A and B are shown apart, each in its own frame.
Chain A
Amino acid sequence: MAQINVNVDGVAYSDDVEPRMLLAQYLRERLGKTGTVIGCDTSNCGACTVHLDGRSVKSCAMFAVQADGHDVTTIEGIASNGELHPVQQAFHDTHALQCGFCTPGMIMQSIDLLTENPKPTEAEIRLGLEGNLCRCTGYQNIVRAVQQASSGGGES
């Protein structure tokens, strides 16, 4: 067991974890942060994407011990005071989700993309989301959601 100190969605946790425990497993099984999901075992699907110190990471491709001393933000930590994050709102407005399983990772990756490039072109959005798979939407409305969030506008 290894001890870690990690801040998740604004709450400090100190835990003993197996060295092999993935960050995704730690979030889900130890903290009950089941909004973050696991869709594959090869870090291709991106469903588990969270932010580590404000940048997106795939939490199935990191051990929990690697998060020691860091801030983790999950899909459950981005709305504030009951107000959806603009990217969450945009996903709702543009019907950018169907089954919703990829959605937490897709939203966290979209936020990261917009942090890096606040006014992306459609091609830049598509490339920026390349590491996150969605089987329901064909991505078109996900691209629209990111465009809406990027323009800062309300409903399109």
Chain B
Amino acid sequence: MTAVEERAAAEVGRPRKRKEDRRLITGRTRWTDNLMLPGMLHTAMVRSPIAHGRITSIDVQAASQASGVLLVLTGQDLAEEQGSLPNAWPITDDQKAPPHPAMAVDRVAFAGEIVAAIIARSAAEARDAAELVDVEYEELPVVLDLDAASKEGATLAHPDLGTNVSATWVFDSAEAGSGSNVDDAIRDSEVTIERTYRQQRLIPGFMEPRSVVVDPTHEQITVWSATQIPHILKLMLALTTDTPESKLRVIAPDVGGGFGGKLQVTPEEVITLLAAKRLGRPVKYTETRSENMVSGHHGRDQIQRLTLAANRDGTVTGFKVDLLADMGAYLGLVTSGIPILGAFMFNAIYKFPSYRFTCTNVFTNKTWTDAYRGAGRPEATYAIERMMDELAAELDMDPLELREKNWIKHEEFPFTTVAGLEYDSGNYEAATAKAKEMFGYDDLRREQAERRERNDAVQLGIGISTYTEMCGLAPSRVLGALSYGAGGWEHASVRMLASGKVEVITGSSAHGQGHETAWSQIVADRLGVPFEDIEVLHGDTHVAHKGMDTYGSRSLTIGGIAALRAADKVVEKAKTVAAHMLEANRDDLEFEGGKFTVKGTDKSVTIGDVALHTFAAHDLPDEYEPSLDSEATVDPENFSFPHGTHLCAVEVDTETGEAKIRSYVCVDDVGSVVNPLIVEGQVHGGVAQGIAQALYEEAIHDESGTLVTGSLVDYLVPSAADLPTFGSDRTETPATSNPLGVKGVGEAGTIASTPAVVNAIVDALRPMGINDVPMPCSPHRIWQAIQSASSGGQS
């Protein structure tokens, strides 16, 4: 355990306005698609319109001869060199997976898979020529339904695999020694609740379409990509295409959102790299939104079969989770591990003693799934938080009281959970009390009773989500134990320049999170230099040579701490030089506010003086290397466990089925806060994405496997008019696993909000005999649930 430091902080905790804004609000941005290089060529992809079939012929003759076309590539052309796209997380030793070519060679397994590429002088010429490619397919039967795909004798997504099941992974608290046997708990329980929930398929929907530019005209090939993971991409492109890692430089310039959707090594990146290598000229590929919707990975898509065991007094005694997870057609970078990230979260903030999680990963002929904001944890949180409401209804208890009866009390931390994690800190009582007060919980319950009493056409529902999550991915030893292919450390360096200005280099690659501002705040405090004097550099493997990038709410708790450690090393080095300059004993110096002072005297030098003195190097201590530059690589001790209480009031019009959020209150505890402005923004955006899952979004395929929600016309990313104003506040229970006491915040809102909204809708409708509405809870679905219940359909 790390002691949280008590030291004066001038910058940490301030709502600093962001450094990165200036270029973004004036349009002086560096999106990948902005790049124009001399001689640069453009790519258009030809994609399969069918979900499963053999490629019987590809006629590229007309395309090859079209105006401006330099190269047409098919899967046969690339078969030898394209390798197989990486899956870094084989969750079991016997995990099954088909080869994953960037370009299909002889068979396609989902609609949208790339079958040919045109490289031409202009994007328009490339697209024109793509229309001329004639591909013939022998269609094969498709398997789309997750449940059906998981059964013996199902149509196979990949006939050569012999099964649709990729892997089965189990966590059992009795076997792990972290709890008792769940079957015993269910057998001995006074109440059991059984439910099946569907986590619908979602599309990340970052606003900047993915784009990649490859310039092979230098000894080192430069790859610009709209990616969350320049460092991982560099290694994986090297391994996939048999290019020496030292021959690649990857740059993620300004990146327009990711939400997990840009945590991928994409077919488009591999194909663009191979095309550029062949032609010896820079090549660009920028996807259209419609291409993004079919070929960027999707998220969620699980079926959860749940059994909750409890006593009549409301004490939960066990939870059994049987999960089916839809991989789609292939395993992407971490596809197979996403459900496993949820395995440790189904017990949430509760103390129940027995738990079993069984997950079956299943292939279907759909776009592959992978990380999407929360990645496994929103699904788990939804399941337990919906089930707690169902149990409360069964026992006729207030759902908040039921939760309090079962949650870990603040004095019980650190607490080892039934899933085997050690939660370091938390205070669910404090967050809940604050949220209840802000929300006006008791008044709303009174109004709800009145509306029920008078049989109002508009019913009021109150939804609760008392979530926690594990983030800050992740301690390397844990990742190793889970068979993930890499570690979870992060790297930073701090360079003290001769003029006293400072460069901070972080391996964490921001794409909207505000690292440039937050890291400046952290380092300003450690070095005692002005916030404005610090420049934060990231997203270029030449500049930030080491890094594990940005996902899993890891940046601050690992990368921010690496910056802090590196800054502290700068101070340690500077202290030696300062002692020499002041002709004092090193131990007699104190450092505060950027100044080294000989204790008890007015003799002092600033760290800027020391930097200049070190730069000149005329008079340094013997054996002293003339540099203050320092670096640090931090491997986290533990995950961080933000938590909070989200309360949602929904008005449901029982005549039209419309659900309208009347108020939404969230009190989140993300530990100590570096920049409250940025934290609040992360919470708002996260909550909005969770509400979007509850009410609006779903990727839908027709019976032939075509994505019918393939544009922003059909896939309902909410607008400003669709969302309420959130009441957000915080409690602060510092994490004990890092010196700033910080916890992650990037995914918390998304993890928390979905069950709060659906619980509210179900709460409004429960007197009608309704205990579930499948997501997204559209007016149509709510209306159907009401009709079905009024005709005695649902119990």
Which of B25, B511, B682, B684 contacts A107, CB < 8 Å?
B25
Assuming the contacts A103-B25, A137-B684, asked whether A42 and B257 have C-beta atoms less than 8 A apart, the reply is no
**Which chain A residues lie closer than 8 Å to B719 at the CB level?**
126, 129-133, 139
Q: In the docked arrangement, what's the CA distance between A132 and B326, Å?
A: 32
Closest CB in chain A relative to B31 CB, distance in Å: 6
Residues of chain A from 125 to 145 with CB closer than 8 A to chain B in the complex: 125-127, 129-143
Interface range for A: 35 or more
Assuming the contacts A39-B208, A143-B725, asked whether A135 and B124 have C-beta atoms less than 8 A apart, the reply is no
Verify if B22 is at the interface (C-beta below 8 Å from A).
Answer: yes
Using CB atoms, name the residue of chain A closest to B286.
Answer: A38
Asked if A136 contacts B685 (CB within 8 A), the reply is yes
**Which chain B residues lie closer than 8 Å to A138 at the CB level?**
684-689, 723, 726, 749
**Which chain B residues lie closer than 8 Å to A3 at the CB level?**
none
Q: In the docked arrangement, what's the CA distance between A142 and B718, Å?
A: 14
Asked if A101 contacts B208 (CB within 8 A), the reply is yes
Residues of chain A from 24 to 74 with CB closer than 8 A to chain B in the complex: 28-29, 32-42, 44-45, 47, 74
Q: In the docked arrangement, what's the CA distance between A88 and B206, Å?
A: 22
Which of A20, A92, A97, A101 contacts B124, CB < 8 Å?
A20
- Total inter-chain residue pairs, C-beta < 8 Å: 177
Asked if B209 contacts A39 (CB within 8 A), the reply is yes
Asked if A122 contacts B31 (CB within 8 A), the reply is no
Verify if B147 is at the interface (C-beta below 8 Å from A).
Answer: no
Asked if A88 contacts B513 (CB within 8 A), the reply is no
Closest CB in chain A relative to B715 CB, distance in Å: 9
Closest CB in chain B relative to A2 CB, distance in Å: 15
Verify if A76 is at the interface (C-beta below 8 Å from B).
Answer: yes
Verify if A12 is at the interface (C-beta below 8 Å from B).
Answer: no
Asked if B29 contacts A100 (CB within 8 A), the reply is yes
Using CB atoms, name the residue of chain A closest to B287.
Answer: A41
**Which chain A residues lie closer than 8 Å to B514 at the CB level?**
98
Which of A100, A101, A127, A131 contacts B20, CB < 8 Å?
A100
Asked if B512 contacts A100 (CB within 8 A), the reply is yes
Verify if B720 is at the interface (C-beta below 8 Å from A).
Answer: yes
Asked if A75 contacts B26 (CB within 8 A), the reply is yes
Verify if B4 is at the interface (C-beta below 8 Å from A).
Answer: no
Q: In the docked arrangement, what's the CA distance between A93 and B685, Å?
A: 17
Verify if B198 is at the interface (C-beta below 8 Å from A).
Answer: no
Using CB atoms, name the residue of chain B closest to A155.
Answer: B17
Asked if A92 contacts B208 (CB within 8 A), the reply is no
Q: In the docked arrangement, what's the CA distance between A127 and B688, Å?
A: 17
Asked if A95 contacts B288 (CB within 8 A), the reply is no
Assuming the contacts A28-B34, A44-B712, A95-B678, asked whether A141 and B684 have C-beta atoms less than 8 A apart, the reply is yes
Asked if B21 contacts A91 (CB within 8 A), the reply is yes
Asked if A137 contacts B681 (CB within 8 A), the reply is yes
**Which chain B residues lie closer than 8 Å to A104 at the CB level?**
27
Asked if A35 contacts B678 (CB within 8 A), the reply is no
Asked if A129 contacts B720 (CB within 8 A), the reply is yes
**Which chain B residues lie closer than 8 Å to A88 at the CB level?**
25-26
Q: In the docked arrangement, what's the CA distance between A84 and B717, Å?
A: 30
Using CB atoms, name the residue of chain B closest to A102.
Answer: B207
Closest CB in chain A relative to B129 CB, distance in Å: 15
Asked if A41 contacts B677 (CB within 8 A), the reply is no
Verify if B8 is at the interface (C-beta below 8 Å from A).
Answer: no
Verify if B28 is at the interface (C-beta below 8 Å from A).
Answer: yes
Verify if A18 is at the interface (C-beta below 8 Å from B).
Answer: yes
**Which chain B residues lie closer than 8 Å to A28 at the CB level?**
34
Which of A32, A91, A122 contacts B25, CB < 8 Å?
A91
Q: In the docked arrangement, what's the CA distance between A139 and B691, Å?
A: 13
Residue in B23, B206, B712 whose Cβ sees the most chain A Cβ within 10 Å = B712
Asked if A136 contacts B512 (CB within 8 A), the reply is yes
**Which chain A residues lie closer than 8 Å to B684 at the CB level?**
137-141
Closest CB in chain B relative to A154 CB, distance in Å: 12
Asked if B28 contacts A95 (CB within 8 A), the reply is no
Q: In the docked arrangement, what's the CA distance between A151 and B80, Å?
A: 63
Using CB atoms, name the residue of chain A closest to B514.
Answer: A98
Q: In the docked arrangement, what's the CA distance between A41 and B21, Å?
A: 26
Asked if B25 contacts A98 (CB within 8 A), the reply is no
Verify if B721 is at the interface (C-beta below 8 Å from A).
Answer: yes
Residue in A74, A76, A103, A125 whose Cβ sees the most chain B Cβ within 10 Å = A103
Verify if B57 is at the interface (C-beta below 8 Å from A).
Answer: no
B715-735 Cβ-contact flags toward A at 8 Å (1 or 0): 001011101011000000000
Assuming the contacts A99-B511, A103-B24, A126-B720, asked whether A41 and B289 have C-beta atoms less than 8 A apart, the reply is yes
Residues of chain A from 71 to 121 with CB closer than 8 A to chain B in the complex: 74-76, 79, 84, 88, 91-93, 95, 97-104, 107
Asked if B711 contacts A100 (CB within 8 A), the reply is no
Asked if B27 contacts A35 (CB within 8 A), the reply is yes
Verify if B243 is at the interface (C-beta below 8 Å from A).
Answer: no
**Which chain A residues lie closer than 8 Å to B124 at the CB level?**
18, 20-21
Closest CB in chain A relative to B490 CB, distance in Å: 21
**Which chain A residues lie closer than 8 Å to B668 at the CB level?**
none
Assuming the contacts A101-B257, A126-B721, asked whether A137 and B685 have C-beta atoms less than 8 A apart, the reply is yes
Asked if B21 contacts A125 (CB within 8 A), the reply is no
Closest CB in chain A relative to B270 CB, distance in Å: 24
Asked if B31 contacts A37 (CB within 8 A), the reply is yes
Which of A36, A40, A99, A139 contacts B27, CB < 8 Å?
A36
**Which chain A residues lie closer than 8 Å to B513 at the CB level?**
98
B656-685 Cβ-contact flags toward A at 8 Å (1 or 0): 000000000000000000000110111011
**Which chain A residues lie closer than 8 Å to B29 at the CB level?**
34-35, 37, 100
**Which chain B residues lie closer than 8 Å to A44 at the CB level?**
711-713
Q: In the docked arrangement, what's the CA distance between A42 and B514, Å?
A: 30
**Which chain A residues lie closer than 8 Å to B288 at the CB level?**
40-41
**Which chain A residues lie closer than 8 Å to B257 at the CB level?**
98-99, 101, 135-136
B5-37 Cβ-contact flags toward A at 8 Å (1 or 0): 000000000000110111111111101011010
Asked if A135 contacts B207 (CB within 8 A), the reply is yes
Verify if B256 is at the interface (C-beta below 8 Å from A).
Answer: yes
Residues of chain B from 84 to 131 with CB closer than 8 A to chain A in the complex: 124
**Which chain B residues lie closer than 8 Å to A45 at the CB level?**
207, 289, 712
Q: In the docked arrangement, what's the CA distance between A47 and B206, Å?
A: 12
**Which chain B residues lie closer than 8 Å to A34 at the CB level?**
27, 29, 31, 34
Q: In the docked arrangement, what's the CA distance between A42 and B46, Å?
A: 20
Residue in B206, B209, B726 whose Cβ sees the most chain A Cβ within 10 Å = B209
Q: In the docked arrangement, what's the CA distance between A153 and B698, Å?
A: 41
Asked if B685 contacts A100 (CB within 8 A), the reply is no
Verify if B644 is at the interface (C-beta below 8 Å from A).
Answer: no
**Which chain B residues lie closer than 8 Å to A32 at the CB level?**
36
Asked if A79 contacts B256 (CB within 8 A), the reply is no
Q: In the docked arrangement, what's the CA distance between A66 and B786, Å?
A: 50
Asked if B27 contacts A143 (CB within 8 A), the reply is no
Q: In the docked arrangement, what's the CA distance between A91 and B259, Å?
A: 22
Verify if B549 is at the interface (C-beta below 8 Å from A).
Answer: no
B contact residues vs A (CB 8 Å cutoff):
17-18, 20-29, 31, 33-34, 36, 124, 205-209, 254-257, 259, 288-290, 511-514, 677-678, 680-682, 684-689, 711-713, 717, 719-721, 723, 725-726, 749
A to B CB contacts below 8 Å, 18 in the list: A29-B36, A34-B27, A34-B31, A34-B34, A35-B27, A36-B27, A37-B256, A41-B290, A42-B712, A44-B713, A79-B26, A91-B21, A97-B24, A129-B721, A135-B257, A138-B688, A139-B720, A140-B723
A contact residues vs B (CB 8 Å cutoff):
18, 20-21, 28-29, 32-42, 44-45, 47, 74-76, 79, 84, 88, 91-93, 95, 97-104, 107, 122, 125-127, 129-143
For the A-B complex with A127-B721, A132-B720 known, give 12 more contacts whose Cβ atoms are closer than 8 Å. Answer: A18-B124, A37-B208, A40-B711, A95-B681, A97-B24, A126-B719, A132-B719, A135-B717, A136-B257, A138-B749, A139-B684, A140-B684
